[in-house]
Structure 1
Amino acid sequence: METLLNFTPAFPTFFLMFLLAYLFAFFVVFRNWSPKQKPEASSCLMSLTHGTPAVIMSTRALMNSPTPLSFASPNASFQNFVLEFSIAYFLMDLLHYMVFVPNDLLFIGHHLATLYVFVTCRYVVHHGAVAILVLLFLAEVTSACQNVRSIANLRRADVPLAAKVGGANNLIPRWAWISWMVVIVVAVMISILWVSNLWIFWFRQRSHRAQKKVK
């Protein structure tokens, strides 16, 4: 029987890496911060270890694709490697939200939707990584600035420099934040729709092969 979920050694290695990054931030970097601030700051620091590397690896995976780039092309090995890197991060960050911020249904829903897209693309459909990595690049290209701003915002009342960095909140109008969120949500929904179509195509192929065997 064909194995659908075949986790490679890269996935547990990446998950352990993000877990250690989170714990290091929680117990070392932010050990003197308040109990309310430590989890969020640790999540942001962990996100820093994912965002920029994900952008670099996505770019490399797309530029060095062994096959012509197509939204329906089979996943290359390095593309799968990048997907596993991000799956490990989103799973770890999802655990953070479920433990410390269980009422933040927006982010939990976002992470669940993202994991659905990434996991099915990597382990079930085995196609569509090009589209997913393009979205990953767009989503993470500004993550470093966002996470630095978020960490600074947590300390703006205590550290003057952090107040200057966190003060960017007042410089970005509400319509911009709302429009950005809409774009991100739409991008995730498009990803889900795209992978769902690949699922349908995959099941049709299996059904067609099964009918041929019966004949």
Structure 2
Amino acid sequence: METLSYSVSTLPLFWLIFLFVYLVAYFGVFRNWSPKNRSEASSCLISLAHGTPACLLAAYAILKIDQSERSFASPNTSFQNMVLEFSIAYFLMDLLHYLIFFPADILFIAHHLATLFVFLTCRYMVFHGAFALLVLLVLAEITSGCQNIWTLASARRADVPAAARLYELLSPPFYAFYSVIRGLAGPAFVYKMGMFYASGAADSVIPRWLTVSWMVVVVMAISVSILWISNLWLELYRERSKKLEKKIT
């Protein structure tokens, strides 16, 4: 079993990397975009820099440990801690983005604060439970690449025909993929996680108040995701219905 690591945190280095990516995006890649789309696109670029790498790193951190260590109460390994720090750095950077450019977007700010609470307490307070959080990270970020490309296409679809075509092409498969992950796989794992913590099996290493807090955050995140994708399906249905009506008339 890999020993616990209390070495110097890699968090500052990861945060500086995400800051660099954001600045390159804002002052370079998207400098000719409108102010609102420019900041949103810069956020998408750091999300791209985080999402797929975080998914792969988390999956590797899960697969490299023995089956006996894959418990919701297992001690964090050094590599698991590093993956948590990678994600913490991203959420801190994106939180700063929202506080500067979209301070009224309470939902996203609350989401980032809640996610940071879970990751920070796991990494720096109890040093246990990373296995469960990394599985959730895989489920959350496996759709990230597609989602960010879809978001960028959506931002420019009104004035760039190619972006509009890409948006229309990506929407159905992205919605379907997201629905399976967030609507089926996510809730199934969260239920299993909740049953484990409710049994008290983790109480000796993770305080009950903390596992309850984690579960509240996770359930709320899953619920918001399901509501979001449901609204997108309804919007797609309305758009397709209008187009069909125009063809008929």
Q: Which residue of 1 aligns with 2:98?
A: 97
Counterpart contact for 1:153–1:167, Cα < 8 Å: no
* 1:41 alignment partner in structure 2: 41
**Structure 2 partner of 1:117:** 118
Deviation at residue 199 of structure 1 after TM alignment: 2.8
2:20 corresponds to which residue?
Answer: 20
Opposite residue 52 of structure 1, the aligned amino acid is T
Instruction: Flag structure 2 segments of 5+ consecutive residues without an equivalent.
Output: 1-5, 211-249
**1:89-168 matched pairs, under 5 angstroms:** 89-167=90-168
Give the aligned CA root-mean-square deviation in angstroms: 2.8
Q: Structure 1: which 5+ residue stretches go unaligned?
A: 1-5, 203-215
User: After TM superposition, where is structure 1 displaced by more than 6 Å over at least 4 residues in a row?
Assistant: none
1:55-66 to structure 2, matched below 5 A, reads 55-65=55-65
Taking every aligned residue pair, what percent have the same amino acid on both sides?
54
Amino acid in structure 2 at the alignment position of 1:35 = P
**Partner SS, residue 69 of structure 2:** coil
Q: Deviations over 1:5-32 (max 9, x none)?
A: x783410000000001001000000000
Q: Deviations along 1:81-124, whole A, 9 cap, x unmatched?
A: 00000000001001111111111111111111100000000000
Q: What is the letter of the counterpart of residue 140 of structure 1?
A: E
> Which residue number in structure 1 is paired with residue 207 of structure 2?
199
Q: Which stretch of structure 1 is more off in the superposition, 155-164 or 14-23?
A: 155-164
Distance 2:57 2:12 in 1: 18
- 94-103 or 61-70, which deviates more: 61-70
Q: CA deviation at 1:148?
A: 0.4
Say if 1:121 and 1:127, in contact at 8 Å, map to a contact too: yes
> Larger RCO: Structure 1 or Structure 2 (Cα < 8 Å, ≥ 6 residues apart)?
1
Cα distance, 1:201 vs. partner? 8.4
Aligned residues: 187
